[in-house]
Every structure is written in structure tokens, then in C-alpha cells.
Structure 1
Amino acid sequence: MAIVRFSPWREIDSLQKEMNRLFETFSDEEKVVKFTPAAEMQETEDTIELKLEVPGLEAKDLDVQVTAEAVAIKGERRQESKTEANGMTRSEFRYGSFQRVISLPVRVQNEQVKADYKDGILHLHLPKAEAEKNKVVKVSID
């Protein structure tokens, strides 16, 4: 059986280094987790249907831009919650802007996009470009 020398100072030093590394990660503004809206895309014969989950916002808080190949959505989230219980008030605020760019699987007619916003869900109806709808590929047989 081997004898192992216990050094509590080495363990404390190792723990301190790990804690410093952890706090450096949280203090770095570039690594802070930001809100990113969840998205769901469905392709039909004539359109791309895109849904984005942006709860707690109003339609006027959203900036949606569509090109033939992508959709960009920007917004700013301002959320406040306040609860009162047992004579105490607890208030929390969450603010922050977000941006998400979603590439589309086919080209769309971006000047004919229709959008509606209800119950925190932004629904975009993106009609496919005519060339994409009528796309026929000749297959050569060997």
C-alpha cells in the first residue's frame, strides 16, 4: 500500500483557480446568455411557414426584415414581474435586445410576405419564388 501525502493547501489553491475561471466566464459580456426566440419552419408546396416564439412583446417592438434567402428578426425585451406576499414585495426586471437570422431553404418572394402576431407567436407566410415552385430537374439514366 502506497502512502499519499495530503496537502490541504494544494486542494484550496486548485479550488480557487476553478472559482476564478468560473467568475471570469460570467463577467465576460460576450459570453452572457441572451434571449433567442425559438423558431419552427414548415415548407409547403407554395410557401414557407415560419413561426417565432417572442412572448411578452408587442408587434411594435419587433423589426422583421426578409430577403429572398433569409429572415432577420430584432427586438427588445422588457419584462417586469412583481409579487407581494406576507408584507414583502419582490420585483424583478429583465431587459435586453435580441437578434436572430434564419436562412431559408428556398428563395421567397420577399415583397409578398404576410405576417400576423398573436399570443406571443409571430407567424410569417413566405410565398416561394416562381422559379422555386416550378423547378423541374431532368434526371439522366445511366
Structure 2
Amino acid sequence: MAIHRFDPFRDALTLQNRLNSLFQDYNRGQNESDLVSTAAFVPPVDIYEDQHKIVLKLEVPGLKQEDFDIQLENNTLTVRGERKFEKEEKEENFHRIERRYGSFFRSFTVPTTVNHEGVKAGYDAGVLRIELEKRAEAKPKQIKVQVGSAAAVSKTVENKPAA
């Protein structure tokens, strides 16, 4: 177990850095064209791994298949998309708008054990599921251990002439 020195200001500094970057991003996007290019929302993601694959699940309800752009290049998985505001209703008739609209962008570094040819993506019930298959050499292998003279016994039985 590693011993870590307690730093009470580390979390405060992390929060301050995040707030500073948020305000810097806002100040950069002062004209209309910059505001369009920034991400409007960040969909939450679950990532898990088993012996054969790494799976990402992004929560992005209300999108269609053609709204996604998924790319894997140089061990970086990039997911882009856009949720458009339906203009069927007039905005002044809304009492509240809480859902996020606009473009989103997520980028993930994937390990070198991922097979770039074995990537699958599916979209169902508002969840985008991306499966990254692992290479065969990266998958764990079970090795059977023979104890004592079991290896010698099997050789003796094989070499014994049939009666």
C-alpha cells in the first residue's frame, strides 16, 4: 500500500483550475461562429472491460444514427454528434427548457491492445454502445499446470505397446 501525503488544498486547486478553464472557454467564444463550434453538452459515459472487449455506453437520447460521427485513429476514439432543437413548437410557448441541445464531443484514449478492425457501434433506447475488441495476444490465456510426475506418466502410457 502506497503512502500519500495529505494535501488539503489539492481539491480546491483542481476546482479552481476547472473553473478557470470554463471561463476561458466562455471568453474565447464571444462571437457567434465560436459559440457554434463549442460543445453544448457532454453526454455521460460508462466504460467497462472484460476478457474480450472494452465497452463504452454513452447516454444520448433523441439522436438518430446519422447524427453520430465515430472515429478511431492513433489509439484515440472520438465520438461527435448533434442533438437538434425541434422547431415544431414556438419557443415562447415553452415554460421550461431543461434538455441540452447542440453538438457534443467526447474523446477517449484506448490501449494498444485494441484491435482497430474489431470495433462495433450500436444505438438503442437512447444509449450509444461502442465495443472495442481486444487483440488475441492481449487476451488472457489459461495454462494448465501438471503436478509432480503427471507429465512423465502420460509419456509412459503413450509409449507403452498395446496388449
Q: For the superposition of Structure 1 and Structure 2, which TM-score range results when normalised by the shorter chain?
A: 0.5 to 0.7
CA RMSD of aligned residues (A): 3.5
What's the counterpart of residue 139 of structure 2? 133
What's the counterpart of residue 138 of structure 1? none
2:44 maps to 1:38: yes
What's the counterpart of residue 55 of structure 1? 61
How many residue pairs align between the two structures? 109
Tell whether the 8 Å contact from 1:107 to 1:128 is kept in structure 2 after alignment. Answer: yes
Tell whether the 8 Å contact from 1:65 to 1:72 is kept in structure 2 after alignment. Answer: yes
The alpha-carbon deviation at position 79 of structure 1 amounts to 2.5
TM-score using structure 1 length = 0.60
The alpha-carbon deviation at position 107 of structure 1 amounts to 2.5
Among all aligned residue pairs of Structure 1 and Structure 2, give the percentage whose two residues are the same amino acid. Answer: 35
3-state SS, counterpart of residue 137 of structure 2: helix
TM-score using structure 2 length = 0.53
Unaligned runs of 5+ in 2: 1-22, 142-163
Distance (Å, rounded) in 2 between the aligned partners of 1:70 and 1:57: 23
The alpha-carbon deviation at position 129 of structure 1 amounts to 1.6
Distance (Å, rounded) in 1 between the aligned partners of 2:106 and 2:62: 17
Moved over 4 A (4+): 30-33, 81-84, 91-95
Once the two structures are superposed, what CA deviation does each residue of 1:103-133 show, in whole Å capped at 9, x if it has no partner?
A: 2245211212111101110111111022321
2:81 maps to 1:75: yes
Unaligned runs of 5+ in 1: 1-24, 136-142
Once the two structures are superposed, what CA deviation does each residue of 1:11-67 show, in whole Å capped at 9, x if it has no partner?
A: xxxxxxxxxxxxxx5962279873111111111001111111111111110001124
Which residue identity does 1:96 align to in structure 2? G
